[in-house]
Amino acid sequence: MNFEITVDRWAWPGLGMGYYQGKATFLAAVLPGERVLAQTVKAGKNHLEARLVEVLEPSPARIPSPCPHFPDCGGCGLLHLSYEDQLVLKEQQLNEIAQRAGLKVTAGFTPSPQPWGYRHKANLKSGGGKLGLNRYRSAQVLAVPECKVFSAGLKQAFSGLEPNREADLAALESQDTGQVALVWLEKNRQQPLSGFGQQVFEDYGQGRLELTAAGFAQSNPAVTRLILADLLSAARGYGRIAEHYAGAGTLSLGLALGAEQYFGYETHKKAVELGNRNLKAHGVQSGQIRESNAEAALLPDSAQLLVVDPPRAGMASALINKAIHSKLEAVLYLSCDPMTQARDLARLVQEGGFGLVWLKGYDMYAQTGHQEALALLVR
C-alpha cells in the first residue's frame, strides 16, 4: 500500500518518523520536514515500517546521493545527508539516548578519518545470480558494484567472483598489509576460495593480530585505532583487568600487555583459540582468554577494571549483577548499540554506585545511522 506522509523528526538509527492514520511510521532515506510517498513494508499494532517511493517535497538539507544503489540498498541510510550533518545527527542521537536513560553526561562524537572506502569487513549475499547486499527491508539480493564504502581491495576481490551459489560471502581486508581473505559460508560450513586465504594480519597500533574472514572483526580500522587509543588510555593505571566478550583479542592485546593480571572471557571456542594465539605471539605473560559465556558472569574478586564489548543485545544481566556487587573500581563499556548500552549504564550507575565519567561516540559506520560508543564508569 502506498501513502503520503510528512516526516516529523529523526528516530534511531537515522530513520525518519511521521504519523499515518495515527500510527508511528518509520522509514529510511528521508529528512524531517519532507513530504514523501511511502510504501508499507511491515505493519505492527501501533507502528508501521515503510519504504520510500518518491520525495514529493524535499528538504533544503537533502543532497544528491553519490551512490547509484541508494536508497534500494539496505547498507547505507544517510547518503542523502552531508557528512557534516550526519555527524551532528549522530552526536545528537547519542546524547538524547543517554538523557532518556537518566544519564547525566554530554557526549562528544569523533568522525571517521575515511568517510568513504573505509569498510574492510563485509558479509555479502549470493543468490539469484547476484552477489551483493540485501535490498532495504527485503531478502532480495542487490548487486552493488559501485558501493562507495567498501575498501578498494574488497571491491577488486568481489569483481572477479561468480555468484553461482546460494550462500553468504565473508570478506576481510587488512588495512595494514593489504591482504584479502574470502570464505563462503554454507550451512555451517566454511568453503575457502581459490587464490584467497581465510585470515589476515591487522595492526590497530598495539601489534599485529591474526583475524579471520568468518570471525568477528571491526569494519573500520581507522576508527578502531582511535577507539583503542582512548580505551587503553583510560585503562592505564589499573593493574588487574577482566574482559568479557574478548573475541579474537582486538582489545585484549593492548589490555593484557599493560596489565599485571589479565582475565579474558569469550563464548566462542574458535575465537578463544585465535585470541590466545594472538596474545602468545606477543609474549603476553599477564593472563589468557578463557572459554566462558557472559551469563556465567565470571569475575575475579581481585579485578579492578572490567572491559566489555558486547553484541547489540548488550551485557548479560547476570554479568551486570556481578559487576554491581563486585569490588570493581571501574568499567569501560564499548558498544555498537547506544540504546542497550544506555540501558546497561543506567543500571550500573543507579544500582552499582558507579559514576559516568564520560561517553564518546565514534563514526565506525559512516554514511549509515549506526555508531560505536565508549563509556567510562568509576566508583
Query: Is the confidence at residue 165, as pLDDT, over 90?
Result: no
Query: Is the same domain home to 358 and 310?
Result: yes
Query: Is the same domain home to 97 and 234?
Result: yes
Determine, yes or no, domain membership for 80. no
Number of domains in the chain: 3
* Contacts within 8 Å (CB) and 24+ apart, 135-139: 135/72, 135/73, 135/74, 136/28, 136/29, 136/51, 136/71, 136/72, 136/73, 136/74, 137/41, 137/42, 137/49, 137/51, 137/74, 138/74
pLDDT computed for residue 164 by the predictor: 78
Query: Is the same domain home to 358 and 326?
Result: yes
Q: Taking a C-beta distance cutoff of 8 angstroms, is the pair 315, 308 a contact? A: yes
Query: Is the confidence at residue 52, as pLDDT, over 90?
Result: yes
Q: How many of the other CB atoms lie within 10 Å of CB of 178?
A: 11
pLDDT in tens, 328-366: 999 999 999 999 999 999 999 999 999 999 999 999 999
pLDDT computed for residue 200 by the predictor: 98
Average pLDDT, the chain: 96
Q: Which residues contact 346 (CB under 8 A, 6 or more apart)?
A: 101, 102, 103
Q: What is the CATH number of the domain that holds 363?
A: 3.40.50.150
Q: Taking a C-beta distance cutoff of 8 angstroms, is the pair 124, 168 a contact? A: yes
Q: Give the pLDDT band of residue 11 (cuts 50, 70, 90).
A: very high
Separation of alpha carbons 20 and 40, rounded Å: 11
List the strands of the sheet with 9-11, edge to edge: 2-6, 35-43, 47-57, 23-27, 15-20, 9-11
pLDDT computed for residue 170 by the predictor: 96
Grid coordinates of 224: 578502531
Query: Is the same domain home to 54 and 126?
Result: no
pLDDT computed for residue 162 by the predictor: 83
Determine, yes or no, domain membership for 76. no
Query: Is the same domain home to 255 and 363?
Result: yes
- How is 271-315 classified by DSSP, letter by letter? HHHHHHHHHHHTT--SEEEEE--GGG----TT--EEEE---TT-S
Q: Is 237 helix (H, G, I), strand (E, B) or coil?
A: coil
If you search the block for the grid coordinates 573505509, which residue do you land on?
A: 118
% of the chain surpassing 90 pLDDT: 93
C-alpha neighbours within 13 Å on the C-beta side of residue 220:
26
Query: Is the same domain home to 195 and 150?
Result: yes
Q: How many of the other CB atoms lie within 10 Å of CB of 344?
A: 23
Q: Taking a C-beta distance cutoff of 8 angstroms, is the pair 110, 374 a contact? A: no
pLDDT computed for residue 128 by the predictor: 85
pLDDT in tens, 92-107: 999 999 999 999 999 9
Query: Is the same domain home to 261 and 373?
Result: yes
Query: Is the confidence at residue 188, as pLDDT, over 90?
Result: no
Beta bridge partners of 125: 132, 168
Q: Is 139 helix (H, G, I), strand (E, B) or coil?
A: coil
Separation of alpha carbons 328 and 213, rounded Å: 35
Separation of alpha carbons 283 and 289, rounded Å: 14
Query: Is the same domain home to 304 and 236?
Result: yes
Query: Is the same domain home to 91 and 186?
Result: no
Considering 155, 180, 212, which residue would you say is the last residue of a domain? Answer: 212
C-alpha neighbours within 13 Å on the C-beta side of residue 48:
22
Determine, yes or no, domain membership for 78. no
Determine, yes or no, domain membership for 77. no
Determine, yes or no, domain membership for 137. yes
Determine, yes or no, domain membership for 74. no
C-alpha neighbours within 13 Å on the C-beta side of residue 62:
16
Considering 212, 230, 256, which residue would you say is the last residue of a domain? Answer: 212
pLDDT computed for residue 160 by the predictor: 82
Query: Is the confidence at residue 1, as pLDDT, over 90?
Result: no
Which residue stretches of the chain are H helix?
A: 83-100, 152-159, 221-235, 252-258, 269-281, 317-324, 338-352
Determine, yes or no, domain membership for 24. yes
Separation of alpha carbons 28 and 244, rounded Å: 34
Considering 172, 194, 212, which residue would you say is the last residue of a domain? Answer: 212
Domain extent, residue 342, equals 85-114+218-378
pLDDT computed for residue 74 by the predictor: 87
pLDDT in tens, 220-276: 999 999 999 999 999 999 999 999 999 999 999 999 999 999 999 999 999 999 999
Determine, yes or no, domain membership for 195. yes
Query: Is the confidence at residue 216, as pLDDT, over 90?
Result: yes
Query: Is the same domain home to 270 and 306?
Result: yes
Query: Is the same domain home to 233 and 90?
Result: yes
Query: Is the same domain home to 149 and 100?
Result: no
